[in-house]
Amino acid sequence: MWTLALGGIFLAAVEACVFCRFPDRELSGRLARLCSQMEVQWKDCEVSWTFSAFALDDASLNKITEKTHRVLRVMEIKGSLYSLPSYWQWLRKTKLQEYNREALCPPSCRGSTILYNCSTCQGFEVYCWPRKRCFPG
């Protein structure tokens, strides 16, 4: 997993990026309710919300928030919570890394970009990654 210390800012753990946007979706409360229902099967449910190693651009932040809303909605409707740990693991190990990379590499990033700290939801400007880091070889 990549650890970001962009622009001299260490990303401290406060909350997950999926809570940064669309407050009307009430993802934090919904996720807390789902976690409380899964307490026996997944003791570290709320700990898993920490995405401190990631920063996303505006478009990626919106996409990941909407995706999480839809996934939680399906779980709520079906009453099936067993896929929540899998979704969270996929989000952390696959999707957030992919979106993070897309935000810092061409063609999305040109010179510099604004990323949002996935712990604090604060935006900050960073330089794009060099082409060799984005496309090694």
Instruction: Enter the pTM of the model.
Output: 0.74
**pLDDT digit string (tens) for 55-78?**
889 999 899 899 999 999 998 898
Specify the range with the lowest mean pLDDT, choosing from 4-8, 55-59, 129-133: 4-8
Q: What is the pLDDT of residue 49?
A: 59
CB neighbour list of residue 11: distance below 8 Å, 6 or more residues apart: 4, 5, 52, 53, 54, 55, 117, 118, 119, 120
The lowest-confidence range among 4-8, 17-21, 50-54 is 4-8
* Count of domains observed in the chain: 1
Strands, DSSP E only, in 3-122?
55-56, 112-117
Residue 1: inside a domain = no
pLDDT of residue 35: 78
Q: Using alpha carbons, select from 22, 117, 123, 96 the residue that is nearest to residue 65.
A: 22
* Structural domain contains residue 123: yes
Q: With 80 as the cut, is the pLDDT of residue 4 above it?
A: no
Mean pLDDT to the nearest integer, 87-108: 89
CB 82 within 8 A of CB 41: yes
Can you give the pLDDT at residue 18? Answer: 77
Confidence of residue 87 (pLDDT cuts 50, 70, 90): confident
Any idea which residue has 């079906």 for tokens?
78
CA distance 133 to 130: 5
What is the span of the domain harbouring residue 26?
Answer: 6-134
